[in-house]
Structure 1
């Protein structure tokens, strides 16, 4: 199995996947227009086995407190799989499956699989975490960096969340839910009917980020890009909203980005 770059095509849509660079989508071009911010840390990377920050890098794993490296001091952020090289399991013209084996510092051996399916008007990403040994808490999410500007007006972000997670001074949810506030955001929102966020570049393109999951982080504090991150739980969720991976029940999530010209 190799980890060379993969290019998927469907109609005038083209997605480039970089397994060796954390399993991220390096590029998404629609009619030759690049939607994702370019750079080795950008594109769209998978957040697994956790999303966002873990307070102090510590989480409760059964009766054991686990310590993750503080890669965003004083916290640990965005999982470990984005820092590793993934392997290519299967490729066709418009679909790829890539895998990553969780290793130290993550304490439990497990296999992550990400399937990317491109159509003329959409990209579906599905990710699973499977274990054949111990059960453990985990999260799945995606962190796309959409370009704020595609050569016209800046993007507009539209969504109708049921609540906003109150954010503490440490950027982590306090556990309280509040009425959604206007941006700019680096915040987690609850959408119990499923994530449904629309990005509109006026006169150019409308892109909808959808997922059956109920959590989304929206980050638009940077000048160059806007992030809309569907995920299986809120930041620090390994502690506050743990989802268990067990030998008989993997954790699986998906998101679909669909687009149309306007």
Structure 2
């Protein structure tokens, strides 16, 4: 993790519309690190901003929010059957049910970055999750609104 001359983390991608800013961490599961409005020079955080330590350790779970790709919630014991096939996903002591897919655990690439919008992509090649797929998220600001 490096910082630029202003002391900001260079792995963050920033977008702004003059009323609001958002910082996105593509290398941290394509997570949103912050979303804030600026009023009279003061920040108003609409989502819990990630602290610098979470950004440094690429902890998507400590970000403002992250994408749930290719599924949300949990797969009990990391195991399920589909079309007669048993699928077993890796689990860990802190994640015995394989939560929220794997998109938030892997880096995303910046496909497009403009002043008020960024498009991120994640490509998954079949592994323990037996289906390849591509996910895309567009994060934008307009009139202070995050979409």
Does TM, normalized by the shorter one, top 0.5?
Answer: yes
Partner of 1:237: none
1:55 corresponds to 2:76: yes
After superposing on structure 2, the runs of 4+ consecutive aligned residues of structure 1 that deviate more than 6 Å are: none
Shift of 1:45: 0.5
Contact 1:55–1:76 (CA under 8 A) maintained in structure 2: yes
Q: Are 2:87 and 2:128, in contact at CA under 8 Å, matched by a contact in 1?
A: no
Q: Contact 1:80 / 1:106 at 8 angstroms: preserved in 2?
A: no
Tell me the SS of whatever aligns to 1:88.
Answer: strand
Please, which runs of 5 or more residues in structure 2 have no aligned partner? 1-9
Distance in 1 between the 2:108 and 2:114 partners?
17
2:130 corresponds in structure 1 to 107
SS at match of 1:70: coil
Counterpart of 1:78 (choices 100, 112, 126) is: 100
Give the number of the structure with larger relative contact order, counting CA–CA contacts within 8 Å between residues 6 or more apart: 2
Partner of 1:36: 47
Give 1:60 shift: 2.5
Q: TM-score normalized by structure 2?
A: 0.75
- How many equivalent pairs are there? 122
Higher strand share: 1
TM-score with structure 1 setting the length: 0.44
CA distance in 1, matches of 2:112, 2:66: 19
